[in-house]
Structure 1
Amino acid sequence: MHYSSHTNQSILKALAEQFQAFHKTLGTRSVASANTNPVEVEFPEKGMTFDQLNRLISEQVRPHLSASNGGRYWGFVTGGANPIATYADWLVTTFNQNVSKGGDSIASEIEQQALHWLCELFILPKTFNGIFTTGATAANVLAAFTARQYAGHQQNIDVTQSGMTGLDVAIFSATPHASMVKSLGFAGFGQNSWQKIACNPQDESMDVSALDNALTHCKCASKVVIASAATVTGTDFDDIAAIAALCKKHQAWLHVDAAFGIFERLVNGESGKTRGIELADSITLDCHKWLNVPYDCGVFLTQHMDLLKQCCDVSAPYLVTPENTLSYMSMGIENSRRFRAFPVWATLLAYGKHGIANNINSNIRHAKQLAQWLHHSDKYQLLKPCELNVVLFKPNSEVVGISSGECMANLNASGQVLLTPGVWQGEPIIRAALSNWATTDEDVTQVISALDAIT
């Protein structure tokens, strides 16, 4: 089937209808779909008409999507796509810019502008720069690459050009995110290469004195420390300022995984839980979490752009970039890059610092509302005071008589909410993460009713 330009109006009309039809059901559809079977259709020889394709999507795809864009998807740390970012993302596809290098489009300059505004939003010095990535995992991969190159420089080895033969590195962390461990494997260190630093009592944050002892007695030529600004389960923050002082003393690279924790700076400023993050060598953050832009949008920031470029640059005649133009293919994993910075740029302009902070504070307020109900309920145990947007709890087995896994499965099957599991102090628990701009008081009330209905 040939789709000519005259079908554009039909496509735009159908897009608007699909948007309206999906969004008007977010409040009523099951948060997690009960039907995840593939679409019953054969691969055609000649292709469908657009009307046939659109009808198929309406009847067999849209009804079985999750409501992850709605206010009660509390699994993982999942933000919704705010209206402005959604509009901007449509334009990203419409414009279809390949942000691989500058010189032929304003898109590359908009990416730089968005990066600078993010640094301003998070009160980071102008010495930071970086690149938009597909997500926090890709950003953590770049962190592992730059830390590896830094270690190589300390040992007179150009790792990018010559490989890791002879490289002597020790990596320290307390509670690294799974994506960081994955990234260590990608970078050739190995997923099991990092050394566990003890956590503070009843906490996932790093014991700084234990790190001090490990660094002092480490015989490796180079050292890397991976700190957390909001651990994945307990939402605990490492003492970044104290860790940065130790890293400076021992000439260690400091990477801070702050995928969603960096947004705490919009609540408590530069003297809050992220105090000292401005001293890091590199930072990971995720815009498709608490900034609520569509998926496929992480950020890697570093104060050592020269090392990042050394890691990612490769020479080829067809890749030559004119002088005085940006070359994003020399700063990241991809050569071809989607214009993923645009929804961030538009969101920052449309909402401003106050609007973004208001969304953050709203999620925190709702999380504390849930935590307070759990604290007073005889059916549940609140396992940790809620300080940000994540609530840890489990059913009271003496009253409810079911495990955390069974309780979570029942709640998710109700269609009222989606929650994900975690482990806290060695036992399985339920974790609720509220990070969607669209969550309302009514959403929290509805979830509390579902929790209370568990018997």
Structure 2
Amino acid sequence: MSAVKENEFQSSLDAVISHISTRQESLDEIPILPTAQSITSSISSLPISLPEKGLGTSETTDYLIKEVLPGILQAQNGPRYYGFVVGGVTPAAQLADMLATSYDENVQVNLHQQTASTAIEQRALELVLDLLDIKRSVFVGRTITTGATACNILGLACARDHLLSQSPHLPHNYSWARDGPPSAPGLPSPPLVILSLHPHFSIAKAAALVGLGSGPKIIQQIPADPEDELAFDLGELEERLKAEKEVGRGVIVVYGVGEVNTGGFGRDLDKVAQLCKRYGGWLHVDAAFGGFAGLMPELKAYTQDMDKADSLTLDGHKWLNIPYDCGLFYTRHTESLTNIFQPPSASAPAYLASNATTTDPLSGGDSPEGTVSAGDVPSPLFVNIENSRRFRALPLLASLLSLGKEGYRDIITRNIHFARSIAKYIAESPSYDLLNPSPPHIKDHLKEAIIPSNIVLFRPSADSPYPPSDPTSSIRLTKKINDSRRLYVSATSWRGQSAIRIAVSNYLTEEKRDSKIVLDVLERVGKGEDVAYEN
């Protein structure tokens, strides 16, 4: 690299660091959304075609900062972005992600004598289990994916092959991944079904991608407990599992920890797990959103049985506040992963072979049971969808180390208390109706829990300028709130009616500063006023 180009990189790096630093310092003040003019200007600035001569690093960096970035979300990782379930980016994770990009390592093959990256990834996954008080030995099958959808794909793929390998109608150890869609006399059609209660859309997407199908014939809803709409009717579930076992059909039971609209939790995960074990069902726990809620001691009961799952989905870029993208997948059936993704040894590309040695001692000598040694880490491309993949583990490791269990417990607890303070206002306001009050099984032991966790679900009241009799009212009110550019909420639907959702999952959200801003916007908008952005 010439001296001119080196200087150009350094000056551009300085500009980027200055921009990032300034933005980080003002995340609590800058508007959430760009202006309509900024979006139009950003799009208009894009080149119609690729230039023959490049702009160079400095000019390109300047263009991105001044012309392109003003048109995107300005503070999705800020303290008042409450759309979807989106965390922020902790300082350590942000810096580590920058370092990961700088080193640009492709973490796909275990070459532990040449690089520690696969061992680092494995340790980060183990530390997440430590955070959740789950023994490492429970889920030795582990990998980092792009997100919860990829994790759900892995979970359903593992379940598919595991269940078919046990089918009484097929040869022993039959594999869909190896042998294709099954066909045999007496084989039920469909050969596998998914039983769930309120599955996230990503379950349907995953089911379609792994070849199971996503229609109602495949993904079937089990009735809820008469006293709890987020809990399985265990009697109904047992009857279905028993009936499917009798005909030799494989069953995947999907249990969601944390319902995305209400923030609520079902009960009896341990009993669901017992039924699955008794009747040969595969239990997939989708805890992408709610899996970390139990770090708040009051909610521990709703997450403590996740270790009974056959496969588990967690998400780093939600409540862990790791930058996109970072999904966390775990299974107790390690061989189910390798059976699907690892080609037979005879056909495996030689250049992708691991340099694993015969033995590799555990670091430190006092590692917990289930800690995987560097030489025994499976190559990530043989337990994951991707071959080429970035070093996602570095920001995860950095954030876990920087905060520790105490730091994450504080984030979860503060987020939930903040959401409950907003819910209290909404429940008392004549302009709104609160739609997700805590069910009795939470109120019984959490007297102050007006809502289950960190999500506030509401709609405009009949007395507001946006009466619910108008089917567009929640959408219009959502736009009015977001147009303030001081906070961001998302429109949704619950029990067949339109609604609005505030999801609090950012480490920067502060009760003292942000509740005043949120309540001011809600108060004024609820009366029909327009609220302009004020710095």
- Normalising by structure 1, we get a TM-score of 0.96
State the partner residue of 1:340: 392
Matched, 1:101 2:144: no
In the TM superposition, residue 235 of structure 1 has moved relative to its aligned partner by: 2.0
State the partner residue of 1:9: 10
In the TM superposition, residue 286 of structure 1 has moved relative to its aligned partner by: 0.3
Secondary structure at the residue paired with 1:76? Answer: coil
Amino acid at match of 2:287: A
Q: Distance in 2 between matches of 1:123 and 1:164?
A: 39
Q: Distance in 2 between matches of 1:415 and 1:200?
A: 41
The structure 2 residue matched to 1:388, chosen from 453, 462, 479, is 453
Q: Deviations over 1:380-432 (max 9, x none)?
A: 11112212100111111223334211111110111121111222222111111
State the partner residue of 1:20: 21
Matched, 1:78 2:86: yes
Whether the 8 Å contact between 2:430 and 2:463 is mirrored in structure 1 is: no
Amino acid at match of 1:322: N
Which ranges of structure 1 fall in alignment gaps of 5 or more residues?
Answer: none
Secondary structure at the residue paired with 2:230? Answer: coil
In the TM superposition, residue 269 of structure 1 has moved relative to its aligned partner by: 7.7
State the partner residue of 1:419: 489
Matched, 1:40 2:45: yes
Secondary structure at the residue paired with 1:261? Answer: coil
Amino acid at match of 2:179: S
Alignment of 1:330-409 (within 5 A): 330-385=382-437, 386-402=451-467, 403-409=473-479
Alignment of 1:188-337 (within 5 A): 188-192=211-215, 193-201=218-226, 203-218=229-244, 219-238=247-266, 239-268=268-297, 272-314=301-343, 315-324=348-357, 325=375, 326=377, 327-337=379-389
- Normalising by structure 2, we get a TM-score of 0.82
Whether the 8 Å contact between 1:204 and 1:234 is mirrored in structure 2 is: no
Whether the 8 Å contact between 2:264 and 2:452 is mirrored in structure 1 is: no
Alignment CA distance shift 1:365-1:65 (3 Å): same
State the partner residue of 2:363: none
Alignment CA distance shift 1:122-1:13 (3 Å): same
Alignment CA distance shift 1:343-1:269 (3 Å): farther
RMSD: 1.9
Q: Distance in 2 between matches of 1:362 and 1:290?
A: 12
Q: Distance in 1 between matches of 2:259 and 2:58?
A: 47
The structure 2 residue matched to 1:176, chosen from 177, 199, 202, is 199
Q: Distance in 1 between matches of 2:299 and 2:487?
A: 34
Q: Distance in 1 between matches of 2:293 and 2:21?
A: 33
Q: Distance in 1 between matches of 2:477 and 2:410?
A: 32
Secondary structure at the residue paired with 1:381? Answer: strand
- Alignment coverage as a number of residue pairs: 455
Q: Distance in 2 between matches of 1:176 and 1:15?
A: 41
Whether the 8 Å contact between 1:170 and 1:220 is mirrored in structure 2 is: no
Whether the 8 Å contact between 1:205 and 1:228 is mirrored in structure 2 is: no
Greater shift in the superposed pair: 140-149 or 262-271: 262-271
Alignment CA distance shift 1:63-1:271 (3 Å): closer
Which ranges of structure 2 fall in alignment gaps of 5 or more residues?
Answer: 358-374, 438-450, 468-472, 529-535
State the partner residue of 1:127: 138
Q: Distance in 1 between matches of 2:334 and 2:5?
A: 45
In the TM superposition, residue 53 of structure 1 has moved relative to its aligned partner by: 1.3
State the partner residue of 1:165: 182
Alignment CA distance shift 1:251-1:432 (3 Å): same
Amino acid at match of 1:132: I
Q: Distance in 1 between matches of 2:132 and 2:44?
A: 43
- Identity within the alignment, %: 34
